[in-house]
Amino acid sequence: MSVQSAAADVDVDLKQLFASLARRWLRTVLVVLVVTGLAFALASLATRHYKAETQVEIVPRESVYTRPASNNSDTDKPILDEQGVATQVQIISSNEILKQVAQKLGLEKLPEFNDALDMSPLSRLLVLVGLKSDPMEIPTEERVLKKMHEKLNVYGVEKTRIIAIEFSSEDPKLAAAIPDDIAAAYIAGQGAAKLESNNAAADFLAPEIADLQRQVKDAEAKVAAYRAQSDLLMGGNNSVLATQQLSELSSELSKVRANRAAAEATADGVRKALQNGGSLDAVPEVLSSNLIQRLRERQVELRTNIADLSTTLLDNHPRIRALKSQLSDLDAQIRSEAQKVMKGLLMQAETAKARESQLVADVNTLKAASAQAGEQQVDLDALQRDAAAKRQQLELYLTNYREAASRQDRKYLPVDARIVSKASVPSEAYFPKIGPIVGAAFAASLLLMAVLTLLQELFSGRAMRPASGARFEPIDEVAMPATARSEPSGRLEPLIPSEPANRAAETPWPPETISDPEARPTAEPVAESEPEAEPVTEVRRPRSVLGEIDIEKAAEKLIASGAARAIFVSPEGDEAAASAILVAREVSDAGLRVLLLDLTASGAASRPMLDSGLFPGITDLLASQAQFSDVIHADLYSDCHVIPVGTADPVRAMRAADRLPIIMQSLTTAYDLVVVECGPADAQGISRLGGDATEVFLSMLEPDDEVAQAAVKLIENGYPDVTLVTPLGHEPPGTPGRRSAA
């Protein structure tokens, strides 16, 4: 889709444009030489300025042997971060340090830093007439500081803890001396600040230490008095004596209970063995008796003798009977001794039980005493903690005070900064640089003259030429509804692409909006090289081929056929667009909902309906700068609606030409009939606008060859039912003057 405006009827002739540079070379060269010479003279006569730089490193200067013990754990931490370095930059450029340097070097006596010392006659005159402030009204110190700030540049070197101090001056020695003195004053100021802080710390710690010593003494006295008052005697393991005794009695009570239980269990086992006639060998306490052990040995010996004699003697032998009698006596003695052991165990259990009762009574007594001692111990611990905290704070204050006092006496306070590079006297001025200044003046003046020459050529119009394909042929003016023809105002191509028209587009219609024909610009016809084509056979006039209908019959045809779209092609230009306007109004008067879509470049179809061409329209819709509700407007003279050309950039709208079928489909859904005025378009140009129930009309003012050729091309390219319609002689219905196409 091709979108052009009236401004596209001319192009820029680049050859003619750049040829103006060659025609005006002498003026350009003279101006460039003059500007370059002035720049050279000014640079040569300008006062020389020199710049020097001193670098200061922010680094700890404390020795490992003199560093306080509390700071030994912080040796690996950076001394300053990025914000800290920026803070030091502000300190270095502070007025306090600059005042010290100015007083030391006597800068108030130099005209470079004190404007009031050497004022030129021109400066005095400007002061008298009020165009310049009087420097004498400003204090001398403030004038000097202002000049120093203008010439001073302090900045932190990126990704380092180095601060650079730059200073510029007309005197190279002064340019080197001032940054060195600023760095020295900064380091001295830091040392003084540290000394002041150390002295303040020592003065603060001295009375605090005296007060803490008194408090520690009082706290420890309270601890001793409370311990004596509460009779909290301390035993082993730093515990109260009552608590320690309770622990010992509890241990002894456990042992007694264990012994009693063991004695009772053993006695019970011996009793059961004696009662049941069981063997006593399984009872360890019985076997451990010496008498029972000897009886057992004698019993074993008798049994051995009986066994030996049984081999030669019978059981009733007196000797064997005697030995068996002795063996029975031994068993009785063993049982008797076992009963004695059992009685001893029972006695032991009774003794342990009595001891247990006594220990339980003692433990209960100590429990009450221990509980009371525990309550008192809580209060004592609180007093001890208070005394310990004060003692610890006193020791810390004493340590810090000794360190501060030693540094105060020796005045040893190393500053965390050092000068790593002193300024050297510059031998070459940094301003002015004659070469770069002259080169920049030459390039800038040359570029400026070239731009001015090109702009002058453009504004004069000598570098403009008619656009390719534009032809300006005078035609008769047609005033609607009358049959007179208006004068042409230049070619305006339609919004949709078409083959180059053989006739120029007429002036935007109606003719009342056109200025005086004598004041309109005219363009010379531009010869175009046309490719040779085969000779075209003579075409019969459309009137004899298709016939010709008027506005009323065209409206009746659209209503009768139920057409949803009516596409009007106007090969004769903008004046022929009256057919689309009149047909749309006729159908709208019949009661149908009708919308006219203006696709002409000049707005010839919509301007008479809105009396203006500044409304948003189809180009705004295609460029996504407006919506349907913004681009649809009401006809001022009928019930018809209209979408004008719009105000958006036509080139940008042309990129969205593929959206036209979608837009047409939406419009046909909302309206009974959509009338599209395409201007001098061809069959390819209107292909995107067609659809179901579409009628194609060819608007005609005169039945000449141009109209006939346009009709034949439409028929040959797939539009056999094209209808010729003419607006000539149409009289709108209703009250005269209510509306018209003109």
What digits encode the pLDDT tens for the residues 515-563?
333 333 333 333 333 334 344 333 333 333 445 788 888 899 899 888 8
User: CB count, 10 Å around CB of 458?
Assistant: 14
pLDDT for 31 equals: 94
Question: Among 184-188, 302-306, 315-319, which range has the highest average pLDDT?
Answer: 184-188
> Mean pLDDT over residues 84-91, rounded?
91
Residues 541 and 703 sit within 8 Å (Cβ to Cβ): yes
% pLDDT > 90, the chain: 24
Q: Give the span between the Cα atoms of 159 and 154, in whole angstroms.
A: 16
Which pLDDT score, from 0 to 100, does residue 325 have?
80
Query: Phi/psi class of residue 563: alpha, beta or left (left: φ > 0; alpha: ψ in -120 to 50)?
Result: beta
Place of tokens 């053993």: 266
DSSP one-letter code for 366: H
| Stretch (H or E) spanning 568 | strand 565-569
Indicate the Cα dihedral angle 141, 145, 146, 147, nearest 10°: 110
Q: How far apart are CA 529 and CA 428, in angstroms?
A: 68
Q: What value does the mean pLDDT take over residues 595-607?
A: 88
- The model's pLDDT over 18-63, given as tens digits with 9 standing for 90+, comes to 888 888 899 999 999 999 999 999 988 888 999 999 999 988 877 7
Q: What are phi and psi of 733, to 5 degrees?
A: -75, 165
Confidence of residue 480 (pLDDT cuts 50, 70, 90): very low
Torsion of CA 356, 357, 363, 367, to 10 degrees: 140
- Widest pairwise Cα distance in the chain: 186
* Paired tokens of 527: 């010869």
> Which segments within 361-440 are labelled E, that is strand?
418-421
Dist CA 510 CA 742 (whole Å): 4
Return the residue matching tokens 């909290």: 232
Is residue 437 within 8 A of residue 36, CB to CB? The reply is no
257 membership: H or E segment, kind and range: helix 241-276
pTM (global) more than 0.85: no
Angle, vertex CA 721, rays to CA 716 and CA 722, nearest 5: 80
Q: Which pLDDT does position 508 carry in this prediction?
A: 34
- CA neighbor of 565 nearest in space, from 672, 643, 489, 663: 672
The owner of tokens 């209960």 is: 364
- What CA–CA distances, in Å, run from 242 to 42, 223, 306? 105, 19, 68
CA-CA-CA-CA dihedral for 554, 556, 561, 565, to nearest 10: 50
Contact 614, 600 (CB under 8 A): no
Contact (CB, 8 A) for 226 and 384 = no
Token readout for 428 is 């070459």
Residue 17 CA: distances (Å) to CA of 7, 460, 525, 632: 18, 11, 22, 43
70's tokens: 């509390």
pLDDT in the model for residue 235? 56
Q: Do 298 and 333 meet the contact criterion of CB atoms below 8 Å apart?
A: no
Tokens of 447: 């570029």
Q: List 168's β-bridge partners, or say none.
A: 51
> Between helices 434-460 and 25-45, what is the axis angle to 10°?
150
Q: State how far the Cα of 655 lies from the Cα of 191, in Å rounded to an integer.
A: 73
Q: Is the pLDDT of residue 123 over 60?
A: yes
Q: Where are the domains of the chain?
A: 12-46+434-459, 50-64+78-200+415-421, 551-725
Count, residues in the chain: 742
Q: 3-class DSSP state for residue 650?
A: helix
pLDDT at 69: 64
Tokens of 481: 């509804």
What is the model's pLDDT at position 36?
Answer: 94
- Enter the CATH code of domain 551-725: 3.40.50.300
- What integer is the mean pLDDT of 177-181? 95
Mark out the alpha helices in 657-739 (DSSP H runs). 660-670, 705-716
Residue 731: what pLDDT?
Answer: 60
- How far apart CA 264 and CA 266 sit, in angstroms, is 6
CA angle 84, 87, 88 (to 5 degrees): 90
Which tokens go with 59? 């680094």
Q: Are 528 and 635 in contact (CB under 8 A)?
A: no
Q: Is the pLDDT of residue 451 over 60?
A: yes
Residues 604-618: pLDDT tens digits?
Answer: 888 888 888 788 999
Compare 741 and 304 and report the one with higher pLDDT.
304
* Measured CA distances, 474 to 521, 604, 700, 708 (Å): 12, 18, 18, 20
Cis bond leading into 432, ω under 30°? yes
Please, is 174 exposed, middle or buried when counting C-beta atoms within 10 Å of its C-beta (0-12, 13-18, 19+)? buried
Q: How far is CA 136 from CA 119, 125, 126, in A?
A: 11, 14, 14
What's the rounded Cα separation, in Å, for the pair 540 and 290?
163
Out of 13-17, 329-333, 445-449, 634-638, give the one with best mean pLDDT. 445-449
Cα–chain center distance at 374? 63
Encode pLDDT of 481-528 as tens digits: 333 333 333 333 344 443 333 333 333 333 333 233 333 333 333 333
Mean pLDDT of 390-407: 87
Q: Is 718 helix (H, G, I), strand (E, B) or coil?
A: coil
Residue 514's pLDDT is 28
